[in-house]
Amino acid sequence: MLPEENKAIFERFIAELGKGNLAVVDEICAPGFAFHSPNFPGWPRGLEGAKKLASAGSSMFAEAETTIEDLFAAEDRVVLRMTIRGTYIGEPKLGFPRSGERFAMGGIAIYRFVNGKIVDDWGIQVACPTPTDLPWG
């Protein structure tokens, strides 16, 4: 597939997840989906891992607002840079704010596509205790 086709698939994926449609995971992620992140080592693979990832935000963040800063495609990859602002409500985790604390989190993820399906997600996130502490714009 062409890079712009993968980007369009990804944009639809994000839009559907934003509506709470987890069924889109079965349609757009490959059965062997893998999430690779130093923030979450040992993440489960496959469609169940993709669904867990897609729904993880609601158990970790309250009043979350996501801004897509950059989204582009090249070859078989789609790259996303985003900022999430809200209140952290998740379990204590190294590198994350305390529960109940306002935060801003910057993230970059690279998604690899094969035949129109997301096969790999390489992501890294950095959280800061308050929305004004982000070291980038």
Q: Where are the domains of the chain?
A: 3-133
Q: Is pLDDT above 50 for 137?
A: no
Give the C-alpha separation, 60 to 70, whole Å. 23
Could you report the per-residue pLDDT of 27-59, keeping only the tens digit for each? Answer: 999 999 999 988 788 999 999 999 998 888 777
Q: Edge to edge, what strands does the sheet with 61-74 contain?
A: 29-36, 117-128, 102-114, 77-88, 61-74
Confidence of residue 130 (pLDDT cuts 50, 70, 90): low
Mean pLDDT of 55-83: 90
Mean pLDDT of 70-89: 93
Proportion of the chain above pLDDT 70, given as a percent: 92
CA dihedral over 80, 82, 87, 93, signed as positive or negative: positive
Residues sharing a CB contact under 8 Å with residue 134, sequence separation 6 or more, in sequence order: 83, 104, 106, 128
Q: Which class in CATH covers the domain with range 3-133?
A: alpha beta
Residue 25 token pair: 């995971």
